[in-house]
């Protein structure tokens, strides 16, 4: 799944050009599916099958949209903004799955696929890109908005009240406690690839933004 800062960057770009969303609710929605908290067994609760609306074919953003966004009148403006953010997170993750599948065909990545170190090695690059981006963008929405959120009412029924607020604090702590290492050498993914990925997602989201606004108007 895409990193949290990748989701934040997409949310920030959308908010810069679209004022119809409640800023904080939309921002939190963009990390909403990742608000399952890891239990003693090492698994998130609720499981990703629920939070990411997985079918036999993988993540289904369309299933989420049909379930929660096709009847906007039952939601407040803030709830709707959160749900749209949640939807866009799932769309982004669908793009990310396609990207990582393609990456596994590259020789340098293919050499570690299936090894015990695969996840650790690729995620070192993924999060290294996040840390670098946050270090170089002190006015990014993570610093100006997200890390100052001290409460949030859960919107979706499968999250216990208070769980999203707890995950907001966890994500904030994670990035604040991991400074950027300028000596890091990217091997499996580069910052430029993530830049291109974000632009591709934004192009794909353009018509989806129009669709959800048309339904809500």
Residue whose C-alpha is closest to residue 28's, from 83, 70, 71, 69: 83
pLDDT of residue 12: 98
Which residues are paired to 45 by β-bridges? 37
Cα dist from 70 to 50, 73, 170, 192, whole Å: 19, 9, 31, 36
pLDDT of residue 203: 96
**Cα–Cα–Cα angle for 76, 95, 71, rounded to 5 degrees:** 25
Q: How far apart are CA 185 and CA 114, in angstroms?
A: 22
pLDDT digit string (tens) for 80-125?
Answer: 999 999 999 999 999 999 999 999 999 999 999 999 999 999 999 9
Cα dist from 166 to 12, 25, 153, 176, 192, whole Å: 22, 15, 11, 15, 32
Residue whose C-alpha is closest to residue 89's, from 188, 174, 201: 201
Domain boundaries, the chain: 4-216
Tokens of 143: 């610093």
Cα 87 from chain centre: 10
Spans in the chain with pLDDT lower than 50: none
pLDDT of residue 72: 65
Phi, psi of 59 (to 5 degrees): -60, 135
pTM summary value = 0.96
């Amino acid at each position: 799944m895409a990193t949290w800062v990748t989701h934040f960057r997409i949310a920030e770009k959308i908010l810069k050009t679209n004022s119809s969303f409640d800023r904080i609710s939309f921002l939190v929605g963009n990390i909403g599916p990742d608000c399952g908290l890891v239990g003693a067994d090492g698994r998130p609760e609720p499981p990703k099958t629920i939070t990411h609306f997985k079918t036999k074919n993988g993540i289904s953003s369309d299933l989420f949209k049909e379930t929660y966004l096709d009847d906007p009148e039952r939601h407040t403006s803030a709830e709707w903004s959160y749900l749209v953010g949640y939807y866009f997170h799932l769309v982004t993750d669908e793009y990310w799955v396609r990207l990582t599948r393609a990456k596994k065909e590259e020789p340098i990545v293919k050499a570690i696929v299936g090894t015990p170190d695969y996840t650790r090695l690729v995620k070192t690059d993924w999060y290294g890109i996040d840390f670098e981006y946050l270090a170089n963008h002190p006015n990014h929405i993570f610093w100006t908005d997200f890390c100052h959120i001290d409460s949030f009412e859960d919107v979706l029924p499968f999250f216990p009240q208070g769980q999203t607020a707890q995950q907001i604090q966890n994500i904030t702590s994670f990035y604040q406690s991991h400074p950027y290492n300028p000596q890091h050498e990217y091997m499996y993914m580069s910052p430029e690839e993530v830049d291109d990925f974000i632009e591709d997602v934004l192009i794909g989201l353009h018509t989806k933004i129009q669709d959800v606004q048309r339904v809500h108007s």
